[in-house]
Amino acid sequence: MGYTDGIMKTILAPIDFSPITDRVCSAAASLAKAVGGRLILLHSVAPPVVTSEYAPMVENIAEISAASEEAAAKRMMRLQKKLQDRLVVVECMQFYGAPVPYILEQAKELSADYIVMGSHGHTALYDLLAGSTAHGVLRKAPCPVLIVPAVIKAAKKVAARGRAG
Query: What integer pLDDT is reported at residue 132 of this predicted model?
Result: 81
Query: What integer pLDDT is reported at residue 2 of this predicted model?
Result: 43
From first to last of the 165 residues of the chain, give the pLDDT tens digit: 444 455 789 999 999 998 889 999 999 999 999 999 999 999 987 766 655 565 555 567 677 777 778 888 899 899 999 998 888 899 999 988 889 999 999 999 999 999 999 987 666 655 555 458 888 898 999 999 999 988 755 555 555 566 665
Query: What integer pLDDT is reported at residue 26 of this predicted model?
Result: 94
* Maximum pairwise Cα distance, the chain: 58
Alpha-carbon span 10 to 60, nearest angstrom: 38
Query: What integer pLDDT is reported at residue 149 of this predicted model?
Result: 87
Q: Domains along the chain?
A: 3-164 (3.40.50.620)
Query: What integer pLDDT is reported at residue 3 of this predicted model?
Result: 46
Give the residue ranges of DSSP H helices in the chain: 21-35, 61-84, 99-109, 124-130, 133-140, 151-164
Going by DSSP bridges, is the β-strand pair 7-8/3-4 parallel, antiparallel, or unpaired?
A: antiparallel
Alpha-carbon span 67 to 74, nearest angstrom: 11
